Amino acid sequence: MRVRVLVRPKAGILDPQGQVVQRALPALGFEGVRNVHVGRLVELELDDPGQLPEMCERLLTNPLVEDYEVLGEDGAPLAQPAGDALR
C-alpha cells in the first residue's frame, strides 16, 4: 500500500522556518495568515502497515522534537504517536 507520512515540529518548539514563511507572505500581499509551520512529507509504499509506528519513531521522525501522522491512499489517518516519548 501507498502511504504518506506527515512530519511536523512539535507544538511549542520554535519553528524558525514557519516564522520566516509567515513573515514573507504579507510581503507578497497575502494577509491574515497565521500559525505557519514547515514540516516534511515522506511518501512510501509498503507491505505491512503494522510496521509504520516503529518505522516513524525510529527513523522517519525524532519523537523528541517532531510529531507525525500517517495518511492512507484515501487520506484517512492510519497511525500517529502513542504518546510523548522522552529519550
Partner 1 sequence: MKFGVVRFPGSCDEVDAQLAAARVGEAVLLWHADRDLQGVDAVIVPGGFSYGDYLRAGAIARFAPVMDAVAEFARDGGLVLGICNGFQVCCEAGLLPGALLPNTGLRFVCRQVQLEVVNASTPFTAGCAEGERLSIPVKHTTGRYYAPAPLLDAMSERGQIVLRYAPGENPNGSIQDVAGVCNEAGNVFGLMPHPEHAVDALTGSADGLALFASMASAAGPRPLARA
What is the contact mask toward partner 1 in residues 5 to 34, using x (rule: CB under 8 A)? Answer: --------xx-xx--x--------------
CA dihedral for 77, 78, 84, 86, sign (positive or negative): negative
Nearer to partner 1, 76 or 82 (CB): 82
Residue 44 in contact with partner 1, rule: CB under 8 A: no
What are the start-end ranges of the E strands in 1-87? 2-9, 40-45, 66-71, 77-79
Query: Binding partner 1 by CB under 8 A: which of 11, 28, 82, 86?
Result: 86
